[in-house]
Amino acid sequence: MRAPSPTPAAPPPPAASQEPVVVSPTPAAAPPAAEEIPPKADRPAEPEEEKVANDSKAEAPVFPDVPLVEGSLPEDAVAVVILGGPGSGKGTLAEKLVAKYGLHHLSSGDLLRAEVASGSELGKVCADVMKQGGLVPDIVGCNMLKNAMISSGKKAFLLDGFPRSMGQATTFEAEVMSFDFCV
């Protein structure tokens, strides 16, 4: 029978010239409680907001209203969006979905370029904003899409290049319709 192995000896105490090292795990910081987060008005402005607010020469362009077409979308209309970065295959997937399910493909970029090419007052303002690298207001893009959807007479849509922001998504859902599928 074997004798039980001796328990390992404790490490020797640090030499006088060495400081003892104490390692203790740092507890994960808990997220602040909702009441600890100041309301947006009390928080410092975000960089883009500061840039606009501090630039006294910059005036926001005035966008004319998008004239809405007569009619409405069918109650059973369907909106599909594809999200992904550049080169992720959104275009290829869009082609396959359109072919397989008969979706009506709408490109927000194409709609915007067509409005600019029309020479309308709205198109001119959009062109100026785009030349400066800006974005048209969410409601403008949403109303352009809504017009194209109603005018098409279709009820199943694949939206290309839209939404690009949470603001666009929430405006579209509030003003046009809910998204049914997101790929």
Given this model, what pLDDT does residue 152 score?
Answer: 95
The secondary structure element, H or E, covering residue 139 is helix 138-152
Q: Which of 128, 127, 105 is nearest to 117 (CA)?
A: 127
d(CA 61, CA 125): 7
Q: Is the pLDDT score of 164 beyond 50?
A: yes
More confident residue, 4 or 28: 4
Say what the pLDDT of residue 136 is: 87
Q: Is the pLDDT of residue 81 over 80?
A: yes
What is the secondary structure of 52-71 as a DSSP string? HHH-TT--PPPPPPPPPPSS
Cα torsion at 51, 56, 57, 58 (round to 10°)?
A: 40
At 109, list the tokens: 């970029």
Q: Which of 60-74, 83-97, 118-132, 154-168 has the lowest mean pLDDT?
A: 60-74
Report H helices in 12-107. Answer: 47-54, 90-101
Q: Domain residue spans in the chain? A: 73-99+111-158
CATH class, domain 73-99+111-158, is: alpha beta
**Mean pLDDT to the nearest integer, 151-170:** 93
